[in-house]
Structures are given as structure tokens and as C-alpha cells.
Structure 1
Amino acid sequence: MTNPANIPVDIKLHRKSRILELSYADGEHYELSCEFLRVHSPSAEVRGHGEGQETLQTGKIKVNLKELVPVGNYALKLVFDDGHDSGLYDWNYLRKLGQNQQQYWQQYLERLEQAGATRDPDLSVVKIMG
């Protein structure tokens, strides 16, 4: 069930800066990068079908949104320019992403580092042991 307070009163997509801006009636305001939204997609492709089945998304630093598609009164379907379009971002989830953005981003960066992966699709990480 969607909490009415979690429904944005204004949504703006800034394509040049790759930012989705969400504003709420209570004055809260979040700017979420397309990369952040992409790597935190609620789709099964990213989240898996249960705890521990997540797929780490790498090389998404340049990803952008092509389209925002309203889904009923409860969600947005985000269509990314890398072809990903299977996640439905319900209003509660979008608000949660905004509220926890710094924590979630830091956790993502730590997972990338542990995996020896990178945000840039044009780079590879090589660790030299000596």
C-alpha cells in the first residue's frame, strides 16, 4: 500500500546532468542520479529472487534515462538507455532511495571494490599482488 506522503508532487528529469529530481509535499527533495537508480533497480535482474541473489551492476556511470512511464497511481517504470526497463519503482521505494541515498551509495561502492569492479564501462580493475 502506498503511503500518500510518498507520492512526489513534482518529478523532473535532467538529462544533461543525468539526475531525477523528486519533490514532496512535506518539503523533502531528492536528486537521484540515473546511475544510482539503475544500480538499485527493483527488478529481478538486479535484485534476484531472494536474499543473496543480487547481481552487482557495474559500468553504469554513463547510463541515462530515456523515458519515465507512470504505472497506475503507484509507480514509475524507468527506461534506461542501456536497455534496462524491467523495474517498477513504486513511490515508497523511490522515497526510500532518496532517504537512504548516501548509505546505499556507500554500500554499492564497497561492493564494487570487493568485487574488483568499476563504475566505468571503459575501465577494468587489475590488482597486482607483490
Structure 2
Amino acid sequence: MAGLNPQSPTPRDLTVHGQSRVLEVEFSDGAHFRIPFELMRIYSPSAEVQGHGPGQEVLQTGKRDVTLTALEPIGNYAVQPTFSDGHDTGIFSWEYLYFLGSEQERLWADYAKRLAAAGVDRDSPMPDKPGHACAH
């Protein structure tokens, strides 16, 4: 992972809003974002979601009601959330949170296109992965 660019904005404040299911982030450059947990979960930077290269992404569905059960700091450059569905392998750098916050409109549109292409909707259950125990 590339080192943090010293010019990159860093969070001044992070607030987890459990009721509205958003992570509110205020950055040092004045930018202020409310990032839905669902968006964080479907765009998690983990290998489990992103795959191991372009085109390997695993389309995430059924994540509308996901919540954050924990948010652990990783050094002074990232946080590692634990989601209510058990997913906890994504490390969200400040730059990645900034990207999610600033690009959410485009990311939601891209997600809608990927759902349509797969013939599923946002609330479809995730298919069980072969060879993996299904945790409910």
C-alpha cells in the first residue's frame, strides 16, 4: 500500500451514526461527507469484495441494512470497520474514505449498473460461496 501523501486531507472528525447508518467524516480541507454503511460495505477495499484484480470484483447484495459494529483505527492512516454481516477485512485509508465520500453519486450509479447487468437487485441475498460455510 502506498504511503499517505502528505498533501492528502486527513479526517478531523469521524462519527458513526447507528440510526441513520452513515459514517460522518470531516476532513482537514473542510470537506464533509456522510458515507452510508451500505456504500462502504459494497465498496469494501478487501480482497473478499475486490477480488485479486480488475474484473474479479464480487458483487455485494443484501447490504442495505448493514450496520457498523466496530471501527478500529489502523495506525494514523486508516480505519478497519466490522460490519454486522461479519465482514471485517476491509482497511479504509483516509484517501479511500475521501474517494467514497466525494464520488458517492457515481459509485451508486455504477453499483446500479452492475446490479442490472447481473440481473439482481440491491436486496437480493448474497449467493452462498461454494466451499464456504454460510453464516446467518
Same fold (TM over 0.5): yes
The answer on 1:99 being equivalent to 2:102 is yes
Structure 1 position 115, deviation (Å): 0.9
Per the alignment, residue 53 of structure 2 pairs with 50
Per the alignment, residue 91 of structure 2 pairs with 88
Per the alignment, residue 2 of structure 1 pairs with 4
Per the alignment, residue 74 of structure 1 pairs with 77
Name stretches of at least 5 consecutive residues in structure 2 with no aligned partner.
Answer: 126-136
Per the alignment, residue 116 of structure 2 pairs with 113
Report the Cα distance in structure 1 between the residues aligned to 2:89 and 2:9, rounded to whole angstroms. 22
Per the alignment, residue 133 of structure 2 pairs with none
Matches for 1:3-18 after TM superposition, within 5 Å: 3-4=5-6, 5-18=8-21
Counterpart of 1:35, as a letter, is E
Aligned-residue sequence identity (percent) comes to 48
Report the Cα distance in structure 2 between the residues aligned to 1:47 and 1:23, rounded to whole angstroms. 26
The size of the alignment, in residue pairs, is 122
Structure 1 position 121, deviation (Å): 4.5
Q: Are 2:25 and 2:33, in contact at CA under 8 Å, matched by a contact in 1?
A: yes
Q: Are 1:61 and 1:121, in contact at CA under 8 Å, matched by a contact in 2?
A: no
Name stretches of at least 5 consecutive residues in structure 1 with no aligned partner.
Answer: 123-130
Structure 1 position 18, deviation (Å): 0.2
- The TM-score, its normalising length taken from structure 2, stands at 0.85
RMSD: 1.2
Name the SS for the 2:99 alignment partner. Answer: helix
Name the SS for the 2:55 alignment partner. Answer: coil
- The TM-score, its normalising length taken from structure 1, stands at 0.89
Runs of 4+ aligned structure 1 residues displaced above 6 Å come to: none
Structure 1 position 3, deviation (Å): 3.0
Q: Are 1:21 and 1:31, in contact at CA under 8 Å, matched by a contact in 2?
A: yes
Structure 1 position 6, deviation (Å): 2.4
Name the SS for the 2:123 alignment partner. Answer: coil
Deviations for 1:69-111, whole angstroms, at most 9, x for unmatched residues?
Answer: 0011111001000000001001111111111111111100111
Structure 1 position 27, deviation (Å): 1.3
